[in-house]
Structure 1
């Protein structure tokens, strides 16, 4: 039981850290910089399952809100007022949904991971663009239209994120095979249970 808790803590912390690292591999764009965070969000859901995947993203978000500079523009509780905070909410939701969709299958194929990631992209952008619109038009006092918000919050980044969705799906299937082949889990515990 203690070993299982240690394992959970380790993998959740690992993916929280990877998401933080992904924040600093970025292309600066107006309002919403393009980063590799989404890759690690999808891998967290695919490899850890819904429960541990969402835990990893909650650790990441709460670490940033506690003041660690793990977000693309720093950290601290005031980050909830940043126009991009909705994407962080979307990361948490997407990790859960990707995990839930892939753990339903005992032997998911690459297309299952890719489909789950595409749903995850939709969730991230719905949360992110909605929050961006609200932030700009309320507490930031920058009056802007939905079309402009969709352009800067969706159109500029969606191409790269669709490519990442496919890449993350292909990586997930390979990483799952490596995990199974190296017997990184106790043989008396089903892989699906340990991953999900």
Structure 2
């Protein structure tokens, strides 16, 4: 799903705007910290292995792209969102909004930092922080905040279904482990 979101894009200078972030929000909100992290990590590793799942292709050299930090942020963001939601017994819309907005901050922290370092160190494009913030934060963060809120509304509706599925699965696994540990 993240790869599909990568190809639904609006081209902007330096940092293209894609719908990948919606999948990151849903991964953290619905899959939880561990599985959300795993889903995004698999996406990044598949892209680094050479499959063209990133907005500009794939391959290990993609780590030199100035936008690679956002991909690292997706992994950390999904984990953070999941961690916040897992801490609440019955998350509400407010919990999902807070978690996704906090996850947005995590994604941008990794993305903007990496963008600044990449441009100034190995791409030899000397730029100041205000230019990096304009291109890597201010040009897209408003839309991402709206998407975080809209995705939170969707996650609020879907989460009870996922929670029921996970609870049922855990119950079946517990029952199977209890059955297998009994002596006959």
Fold match by TM threshold 0.5:
yes
- Count residues with an aligned counterpart: 171
Equivalent residue number for residue 76 of structure 2: 93
Which ranges in structure 2 are unaligned for 5 or more consecutive residues? 172-184
Q: How far off is 1:64 after superposition?
A: 0.2
Q: Which runs of at least 4 in structure 1 moved beyond 4 Å after TM superposition?
A: none
Alignment check: 8 A CA contact 2:30 2:162 kept: no
Cα distance in 1, alignment partners of residues 162 and 108 from structure 2: 31
Cα distance in 1, alignment partners of residues 108 and 114 from structure 2: 10
Equivalent residue number for residue 107 of structure 2: 124
Matched, 1:32 2:15: yes
Q: What is the 5 A alignment of 1:173-192? A: 173-179=156-162, 184-185=165-166, 187=168, 189=170
Q: Structure 2 residue aligned with 1:136, among 108, 119, 130?
A: 119
TM-superposition CA deviations, 1:98-138 (whole Å, max 9, x none): 00000111110011011001111111111101100111111
Q: Structure 1 residue aligned with 2:29, among 46, 66, 80?
A: 46
Equivalent residue number for residue 63 of structure 1: 46
Q: How far off is 1:188 after superposition?
A: 6.9
Equivalent residue number for residue 113 of structure 1: 96
Q: How far off is 1:184 after superposition?
A: 3.7
Cα distance in 2, alignment partners of residues 113 and 86 from structure 1: 24
Which ranges in structure 1 are unaligned for 5 or more consecutive residues? 1-17, 191-196
Q: How far off is 1:185 after superposition?
A: 4.8
TM-superposition CA deviations, 1:16-58 (whole Å, max 9, x none): xx11110001100011001111110010011111000000000
SS of match in other structure, 1:94: helix
Q: How far off is 1:186 after superposition?
A: 6.3
TM-score with structure 2 setting the length: 0.89
